[in-house]
Amino acid sequence: MTSPQQITQASDLPLGSGVRLITSNKHGLVALDKPAGLMSHPNKEGESKRSLLQASYDYDDEVYTWQVGEVQHRAWLINRLDSPTSGVILLALNEDINTAIKQLFSTHKVTKVYYALVRRVPSVPAGSWSDSLKKDVYHGKKLIKGGQRIPAETRYQVAKAATGGFPVALLRLLPLTGRTHQLRVQCQNHRHPIVGDRTYGSFSFNKEVAIETGEKRMMLHSGETSMRYPFQGKMHDFKAESELPEAFDRVMRFRPGRNVGKPVLSSKKPNSRSSLAGRRFRR
């Protein structure tokens, strides 16, 4: 039987709704652009329509499988993004490249750049966040919530600050560790919750943004992934970039009294003058 390494190409991928191919290379390394709202993999069998690929998923081997005629295809999921997060996500079309790239991820040798639209402008425009995050652990069969503390470190830089509208800033984030929900938790810890984050964000502020702009999504985007990796006896470079979604700019450009979005949480007809004109937003 012909191996998946020889037959599966990036063009064979059964992409989920809104997923876009960014780039791929001859080694079988693939970068996709995931829209917000789609899962990196289905949570359970039968939910593939809401996942990165419309295919079955093996949770133990972390691999998608699908069949075309008599040909069995496979694609390994290298990294994950939360469902509300958009941007660059990686797949491998053969086991060898999957192993090589996952090794780089485990040793923190992959550069990942995220963009987050956060509440309030940091007083220091660039710096590092070092935190100790809680992690759930099992003691035997018993789950202990927050039973372990793990270090998390992220470098940040203010890429842009809004003026005259919402008190928000666009941050460029470079995580140096890879913890679950790391960026979302650290932004909250440092009083800059991500706009639209329903778990770690500000409900009242998110509601104001949604009413005035029509934007409900979480404003976190994986903008760039790059690495230098060893494969078949040589070193190779790989880089994938995803443009910032228009939703970020719509929130940044909002000004009271200027209709830049459609109200979505009210059935009333919009006034010619924004209801928030002349008022100060919560900070």
Task: Give the residue numbers marked as catalytic.
Answer: 82
Q: How many other C-beta atoms lie within 10 A of the C-beta of residue 210?
A: 19
Partnered with residue 51 across adjacent β-strands are 39
Please give the Cα distance from 198 to 20 (Å, whole number).
Answer: 26
Please give the Cα distance from 126 to 111 (Å, whole number).
Answer: 18
Burial grade of 62 (CB within 10 A; 0-12, 13-18, 19 or more): middle
Residue 66 amino acid letter: W
Please give the Cα distance from 55 to 4 (Å, whole number).
Answer: 15
Please give the Cα distance from 233 to 257 (Å, whole number).
Answer: 61
Please give the Cα distance from 86 to 83 (Å, whole number).
Answer: 8
DSSP count for the chain of H helices, then E strands = 5, 12
